[in-house]
């Protein structure tokens, strides 16, 4: 009898949160959207930021990256040298893939641990390469932020003090927008101002069931 009573007292386990993959090409506005999403009270995991932390914190990754790209991948203070690494892999697909094969599994584990700590029914994973790495398959839904090429280039030129050509060459290496639009479950078109972007974000986020 007592056993039955204690069973009845057991709380229902919380369902795992639904994971929404948030993505967009260079300058699309995905980070801006991610900040709005946080303002609406939902947690966001920033994959690229976490990756930057992990490459500095994990001794195992340090060894593997130095083996692949050389000791100069880390500076004299032992900090990851992003510029050096980016230059090394920029025009070398094979090296880039090998680097990704080192970093991505570590980020995946870090993300899984982060999700376990979340209590909201929706969580967002901001990842530039959501579709390229087929990470959308591990998400409940994908949310794409997109804008016209010229607008994106102009915004990045203003933000990063880069030339038109520099931004364009990064863009050309990314998956074409038309292909992303075909795959995405939800799309935010970011061609106007920040107020409209926030409104669209609110509508999309609260319509996800
Ligand atoms: P990246 O992949 O290059 O990091 P991103 O997709 O995260 O880019 P953001 O950094 O969010 O893009 O936006 C690019 C720049 O454009 C930022 O300076 C941001 O403040 C600005 N921006 C984004 N959306 C708008 C908008 N609707 N109106 C004006 N400025 C905007």
CA dist 8 and 12 (Å) reads: 10
Closest Cα to atom 2, ligand 1: which residue? 26
- Same domain (yes/no): 113, 190: no
Residue 1 belongs to some domain of the structure: no
**How many domains is the chain built from?**
2
Residue 134 belongs to some domain of the structure: yes
List the single range of 2-11, 148-157, 173-182 with lowest mean pLDDT: 2-11
Tokens of 176: 């074409």
The tens digit of pLDDT for each residue in 192-209 reads 999 999 999 999 999 998
Query: What is the number of the ligand 1 atom nearest to the C-alpha of 126?
Result: 7
- Across the range 176-196, mean pLDDT stands at 97
> By the 8 A CB rule, do 111 and 50 touch?
yes
Closest Cα to atom 21, ligand 1: which residue? 155
Residue 27 belongs to some domain of the structure: yes
Closest Cα to atom 24, ligand 1: which residue? 29
- What is the gyration radius of the CA atoms in the chain, in angstroms? 20
Q: Among 91, 117, 143, identify where a domain stops.
A: 117
* Residue found under tokens 């000791």: 71
Does the annotation place 29 within a ligand binding site? yes
- Across the range 49-67, mean pLDDT stands at 95
Question: Pairing relation of β-strands 18-23 and 44-46?
Answer: unpaired
Residue 137 belongs to some domain of the structure: yes
Query: What is the number of the ligand 1 atom nearest to the C-alpha of 196?
Result: 27
- Across the range 35-61, mean pLDDT stands at 96
CATH at residue 27: 3.40.50.300
Residue 54 belongs to some domain of the structure: yes
- Same domain (yes/no): 208, 129: yes
Closest Cα to atom 11, ligand 1: which residue? 29
- Same domain (yes/no): 206, 130: yes
**Separation of CA 17 from chain center:** 17
- Same domain (yes/no): 128, 208: yes
Residue 82 scores a pLDDT above 70? yes
- Same domain (yes/no): 36, 129: yes
Query: What is the number of the ligand 1 atom nearest to the C-alpha of 155?
Result: 16
Cα(10) to centroid(ligand 1), Å: 47
- Same domain (yes/no): 29, 64: no
Q: Among 99, 117, 135, identify where a domain stops.
A: 117
- pTM comes to 0.89
- Same domain (yes/no): 98, 29: no
Residue 169 belongs to some domain of the structure: yes
Domain that holds residue 207: 18-43+122-209
């Amino acid at each position: 009898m007592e056993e039955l009573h204690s069973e009845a007292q057991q709380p229902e386990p919380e369902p795992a949160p639904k994971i929404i993959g948030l993505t967009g090409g260079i300058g699309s506005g995905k980070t801006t959207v991610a900040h709005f999403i946080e303002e609406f009270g939902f947690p966001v995991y920033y994959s690229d930021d976490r990756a930057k932390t992990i490459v500095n914190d994990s001794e195992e990754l340090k060894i593997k990256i130095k083996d692949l790209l050389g000791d100069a991948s880390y500076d004299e203070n032992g900090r990851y040298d992003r510029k050096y690494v980016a230059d090394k892999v920029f025009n070398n697909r094979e090296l880039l893939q090998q680097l990704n094969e080192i970093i991505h599994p570590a980020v995946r584990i870090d993300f899984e641990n982060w999700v376990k700590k979340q209590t909201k029914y929706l969580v967002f994973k901001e990842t530039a390469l959501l579709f390229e790495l087929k990470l959308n398959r591990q998400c409940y839904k994908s949310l794409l932020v997109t804008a016209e090429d010229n607008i994106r280039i102009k915004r990045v030129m203003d933000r990063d003090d880069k030339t038109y050509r520099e931004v364009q060459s990064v863009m050309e290496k990314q998956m074409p927008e038309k292909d992303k639009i075909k795959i995405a479950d939800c799309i935010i078109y970011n061609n106007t101002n920040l107020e409209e972007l926030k409104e669209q974000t609110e509508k999309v986020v609260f319509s996800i069931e």
